[in-house]
Amino acid sequence: MAIRIQDLYTFHVVARTGAMQDAAHELSVTPGAISQRIRAVEERYGLRLFTRSKNGIALTEAGLALQSDVSAAFSQIENANEKHFTSWKNIVRISSSATFAHSHLVSSLGRFADAYSTIKVSVELEDRLVDLKTEPVDLAIRHGLGRYAGVRSEWLCSPELILVASPALLGKHGPLDTPNDCLRYKLLPEATGKDWLKWFKAHGVDAKGATYGTTYGNDFLTVKAAVEGQGLALLNDIYVKEALATGRLVRALDSAWPTAFAYYAVALEETFERPSVSALVNWLKQELG
């Protein structure tokens, strides 16, 4: 007959804590589940392992003998688990797009590392939506409406779309006074390919005659193309912050239009309860928001 380690470990925890209620709390199960597992162990060995009374439970002679045999092994496993968990719980693994990581996450995490030296952060660059339930990722940075089934979302920042161009491009084709003037330029599509249409619609411009340049599928590459003068770019302000500061790009038009979406820190509910994750999310909210 196969050994049900789960039931045997439950017996060990009950024997160690001396109370089924305490064991249920430690194992995150109901007291009824604890009783069923203890009953299964007793039926397996054909021996009563605990005596039950109004004062609680106590190990029988058979229970004492079994606990003596299994306690050393389970205690060693518990110690090993605690040792490795202590190391693991201070590591936060983040999934982020390359553009978001480059534009702001790297700088923010550098300051976070100075403030929280005991918490280590690992960043994985992914444009796809990772499965937080099955993949080794603690926190995902997602751009959207913040409504994702089975996970919790924390708002980080809501960037706005701004129109940018290289100074040389504007010098060659002339300044822009209205959104309609964009139609004189080649337009660089952003990663989703939809923001230009929404932007023109918001400003009441018929954009059927718009001319589009190369689609790079990555906003970081689109920023580089704009810097090189390949066309006008409509991008989230955080993506072009550095290029604007250095003068490689300028705002081509003062008119700005906030996006309907925001960036969210997304994780399983229980993951947010880890102090390291909570500290990081609160830091990002303060820095980015």
**160-258: what fold?**
D-Maltodextrin-Binding Protein; domain 2 (3.40.190)
pLDDT at 127: 75
pTM higher than 0.85, yes or no? no
Strand ranges for 97-136 from DSSP E: 120-125
Phi and psi at residue 126, to the nearest 5°: -140, 130
Q: How far apart are CA 10 and CA 38, in angstroms?
A: 7
Query: Would the CA dihedral through 255, 211, 261, 166 be positive or negative?
Result: negative
How do residues 171-185 score in pLDDT, each as one tens digit? Answer: 999 899 999 999 999
Q: How far apart are CA 33 and CA 221, in angstroms?
A: 55
pLDDT at 25: 86
**Domains 5-85 and 91-158+262-288 alike in fold:** no
Segments of the chain with pLDDT less than 70: 1-3, 81-89, 191-192, 256-260
pLDDT at 130: 87
Identify the three-state secondary structure at position 141.
strand
End-to-end Cα separation, the chain, in angstroms:
59
CATH number of 91-158+262-288: 3.40.190.10
Distances 263 to 155, 195, 239 between C-alpha atoms, Å? 6, 16, 13
The CATH-assigned architecture of domain 5-85 is Orthogonal Bundle (1.10)
> By percentage, how much of the chain surpasses pLDDT 70?
93
All structural domains of the chain with their residue ranges:
5-85, 91-158+262-288, 160-258
pLDDT at 260: 63
pLDDT at 136: 87
Average model confidence (pLDDT) across the chain: 87
